[in-house]
């Protein structure tokens, strides 16, 4: 009996739906509405407590003024239309509007009518011309400028190189700065400080894009061009830069000034984005006045009747102490944001685990430059060899600086092979020659601790009328000579694989030139590769990390040259001493 199958205690039966046809139909119709409601509620819950940037709008008094101008303009148009209709069809007694006939009423009081007409007509014409200016010229300039800032912010920011890409993880910083600049009552200048490679310029590019999307007019300026104390005026620098950008769409300088005054004073939409404060007033003659000049220029911005919104990016240096500005230190990106930035360049089949480990092991979040390099390599399936060269694939055993060097090596190898910047119509040998020239210029810049390097250092013909390159601060002529000699040897090996040396590298005239490449052409191609920025007879390295990496390729020649010079001096000392004290000479020789 214990093994018999017992009947179930609960019997399940299926019947008709409890709701019925009507309720089920109503529920089916209400389902999209409920889904839309809960989506909005979930979005609101996620956004609650998060600071978002306010939209730039005209001040209230400006809106009232524009409304009044439009009313006066419409009144003028109605007056002109009525006069034209009266002249054409109501010449006898005038056009009566009910009991009121202006033409007949002014017959007996001509003097009063002329007085009113003489006062009212200029006012209406002024209002009409202002409305035409606002509705046509100003709107056209604003749309052109906003489109440039939204679509090509890296072209407006002059300090941005070609390696600057879309920034991630900086939206909260931009929103906080934009909200403070938006409020007239609490706005003050903001100074963003960060060390080399932390992404200050990338933040300025992103902030320019966000400001333009919010209705503001961001005006990026480059402070390293300011080398005189009287030129350090942020408002004047912004006005000149604004004129350069809108020059294609303005008809005259007067129109440009009128647009600037309306945007700056009436609309309060201009925001100055300045980069490179540490490079301003860098001359020796201003060494003692530089700190006070910078503090005075920033304080002058807040003392104006309408305070100018100002954001400055700079490296840490002395003038920042005691400055009347909000100073914020730029923190590194999070590893999650860095991984998202690199991973989005690949396909959906890519394995994100090794990329995550590489981003963490190399600490790429400290510098956006390494993130951009890793993204370029990952988009071309060249990132995996960076961590698998030793065969182990264990990223934990790699040194951070070794991984970063591997990234740079892989990126430059891809640049030489034409995988990166394939649009440049030059072969691999020419690309190698360009990198050799740029590396030599970087090495010379490292000797003088300067990002600017004169092309005349490698070609005296570019140095001026006397045939000599201008001497830069802290530049050692022997350092330049050894760099030029090493460059000539490398160029000779590129042109002659058998090791033949170029004739230009021998003799007293030591400068690197070959029949198929010179420093001017190399600077032009280097600019198109995004390595340098060519300006006249000099180049500027926009990325300190790139300059240090390229310059290190010629440090071996400097060390060999220094060792050879020291050996020659020691040998001369041994020879001179051996004539007098043979024991001392033997000791020096053994040493």
One-character DSSP codes across 257-288: HHHHHIIIIIS--EEEEEE-GGGTT-SGGGTT
Q: CA 463, CA 482: separation in Å to the nearest integer? A: 19
Same domain, 45 and 65: no
* Region of poorest pLDDT, from 317-331, 334-348, 349-363, 565-579: 565-579
Same domain, 43 and 158: no
Span 76-104, average pLDDT: 74
Span 20-29, average pLDDT: 80
- pLDDT for residue 56 is more than 90: no
Q: CA 312, CA 395: separation in Å to the nearest integer? A: 38
What pLDDT sits at residue 464? Answer: 43
- pLDDT for residue 468 is more than 50: no
Span 150-179, average pLDDT: 81
Residue 565 domain-assigned (yes or no): no
Question: With contact defined as beta carbons under 8 Å apart, do 538 and 455 qualify?
Answer: yes
Of 329, 349, 375, the position where a domain reaches its end is 329
Span 432-449, average pLDDT: 91
Span 322-329, average pLDDT: 83
Question: With contact defined as beta carbons under 8 Å apart, do 523 and 531 qualify?
Answer: no
Q: What is the distance of C-alpha 279 from the center of its chain? A: 16
Q: What is the DSSP string of 294-359?
A: HHHHHHHHHTSSSPPPEEEEE-S-GGGTT-SSEEEEPPPPPHHHHHHHHHTTS-TTS-HHHHHHHH
Same domain, 200 and 262: yes
Q: CA 561, CA 548: separation in Å to the nearest integer? A: 20
Span 446-464, average pLDDT: 80
Q: Percentage of the chain with pLDDT > 90?
A: 19
- Full-prediction pTM beyond 0.95? no
C-alpha distances out from residue 23 to 15, 17, 34, 174, 376, Å: 16, 10, 15, 51, 57
Q: What is the DSSP string of 417-485?
A: HTSSSTTS---HHHHHHHHHHHHHHHHHHHHTT-SEEEGGGT-GGGS-TTS-PPPPTT--HHHHHHHHH
Q: Model confidence at 3, in pLDDT bands (50, 70, 90)? A: low
Q: Model confidence at 149, in pLDDT bands (50, 70, 90)? A: very high
Residue 403: strand, helix, or coil: helix
Strand-pairing partners, residue 311, are 190, 273
Same domain, 194 and 300: yes
Same domain, 173 and 316: yes
Nearest CA among 413, 436, 434, 437 for reference residue 425: 434
Joined tokens for residue 336? 């999650």
What pLDDT sits at residue 96? Answer: 67
Same domain, 211 and 306: yes
Residue 315 sits in which domain range?
Answer: 149-329
Q: CA 303, CA 292: separation in Å to the nearest integer? A: 16
- pLDDT for residue 515 is more than 60: no
What pLDDT sits at residue 506? Answer: 39
Residue 566 domain-assigned (yes or no): no
Residue 580 domain-assigned (yes or no): no
- pLDDT for residue 113 is more than 80: no
Each residue of 175-186: pLDDT tens digit?
Answer: 889 988 988 888
Residue 570 domain-assigned (yes or no): no
For the chain, what is the mean pLDDT? 79
Q: CA 94, CA 105: separation in Å to the nearest integer? A: 10
Same domain, 201 and 319: yes
Residue 577 domain-assigned (yes or no): no
Residue 253 domain-assigned (yes or no): yes
More confidently predicted of 6 and 426: 426
Of 90, 117, 138, the position where a domain reaches its end is 138
Of 417, 452, 475, the position where a domain reaches its end is 417
Residue 416: strand, helix, or coil: helix
- Sign for the pseudo-dihedral over CA of 297, 204, 268, 188: negative
Same domain, 487 and 530: yes
- pLDDT for residue 581 is more than 50: no
Same domain, 160 and 289: yes
Same domain, 436 and 484: yes
What pLDDT sits at residue 473? Answer: 47
What pLDDT sits at residue 287? Answer: 64
Residue 423 domain-assigned (yes or no): no
Domain of 312, CATH number, reads: 3.40.50.12060
Residue 590 domain-assigned (yes or no): no
Same domain, 482 and 409: no
Number of structural domains found in the chain: 5
Same domain, 183 and 89: no
Q: CA 467, CA 18: separation in Å to the nearest integer? A: 100
More confidently predicted of 127 and 391: 127
Span 29-58, average pLDDT: 82
């Amino acid at each position: 009996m214990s093994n018999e199958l017992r009947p179930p205690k609960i019997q399940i039966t299926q019947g008709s739906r409890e709701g019925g046809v009507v309720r089920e139909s109503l529920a089916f119709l209400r389902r999209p509405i409920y889904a839309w409601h809960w989506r909005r509620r979930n979005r609101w819950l996620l956004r609650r407590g998060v600071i978002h940037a306010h939209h730039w709008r005209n001040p209230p008094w400006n809106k009232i003024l524009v409304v009044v101008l439009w009313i006066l303009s419409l009144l003028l148009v109605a007056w002109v239309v009525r006069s034209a209709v009266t002249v054409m069809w109501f010449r006898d007694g005038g056009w009566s509007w009910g009991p009121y006939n202006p033409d007949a009423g002014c017959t007996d009081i001509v003097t009063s009518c002329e007085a009113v007409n003489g006062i009212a007509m200029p006012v209406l014409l002024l209002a009409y011309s202002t409305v035409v200016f606002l509705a046509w010229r100003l709107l056209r300039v604003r749309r052109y400028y906003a489109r440039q800032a939204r679509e090509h912010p890296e072209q407006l920011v002059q300090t941005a190189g070609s390696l600057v890409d879309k920034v991630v993880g900086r939206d909260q910083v931009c929103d906080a700065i934009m909200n403070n600049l938006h409020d007239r009552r609490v706005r003050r200048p903001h100074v963003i400080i960060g060390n080399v490679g932390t992404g200050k310029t990338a933040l300025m590019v992103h902030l320019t894009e966000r400001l333009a999307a919010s209705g503001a007019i961001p005006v990026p300026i480059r402070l390293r061009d300011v080398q005189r104390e009287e030129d350090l005026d942020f408002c004047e620098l912004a006005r000149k830069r604004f004129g350069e950008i809108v020059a294609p769409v303005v008809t005259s300088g007067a129109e440009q000034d009128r647009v600037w005054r309306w945007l700056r004073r009436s609309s309060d939409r201009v925001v100055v984005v300045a980069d490179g404060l540490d490079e301003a007033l860098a001359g020796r003659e201003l060494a003692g006045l530089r700190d006070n000049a910078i503090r005075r220029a920033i304080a002058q911005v807040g003392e104006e009747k309408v305070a100018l919104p100002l954001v400055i990016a700079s490296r840490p240096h002395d003038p920042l102490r005691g400055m009347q500005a909000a100073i914020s230190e730029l923190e590194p990106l999070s590893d999650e944001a860095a991984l998202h930035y690199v991973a989005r360049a690949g396909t959906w089949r890519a394995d994100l685990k090794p990329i995550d480990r590489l981003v963490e092991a190399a600490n790429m979040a400290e510098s956006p430059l390494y993130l951009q390099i890793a993204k370029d390599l990952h988009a071309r399936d060249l990132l995996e060899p960076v961590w698998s060269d030793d065969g182990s694939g264990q990223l934990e055993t790699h040194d951070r600086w070794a991984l970063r060097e591997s990234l740079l090596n892989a990126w430059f190898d891809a640049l030489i092979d034409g995988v990166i910047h394939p649009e440049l119509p030059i072969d691999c040998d020419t690309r190698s020659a360009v990198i050799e020239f740029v590396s030599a210029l970087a090495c010379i810049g490292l000797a003088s601790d300067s990002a600017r390097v004169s092309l005349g250092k490698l070609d005296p013909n570019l140095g001026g009328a006397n045939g000599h390159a201008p001497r830069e601060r802290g530049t050692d002529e022997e350092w330049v000579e050894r760099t030029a000699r090493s460059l000539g040897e490398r160029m000779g090996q590129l042109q002659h694989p058998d090791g033949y040396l170029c004739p230009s590298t021998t003799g007293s005239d030591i400068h690197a030139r070959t029949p198929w490449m010179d420093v001017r052409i190399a600077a032009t191609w280097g600019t198109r590769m995004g390595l340098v920025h060519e300006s006249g007879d000099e180049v500027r390295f926009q990325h300190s990390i790139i300059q240090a990496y390229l310059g290190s390729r010629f440090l071996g020649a400097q060390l060999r040259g220094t060792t050879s010079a020291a050996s020659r001096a020691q040998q001369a000392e041994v020879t001179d001493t051996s004539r007098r004290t043979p024991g001392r000479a033997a000791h020096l020789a053994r040493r």
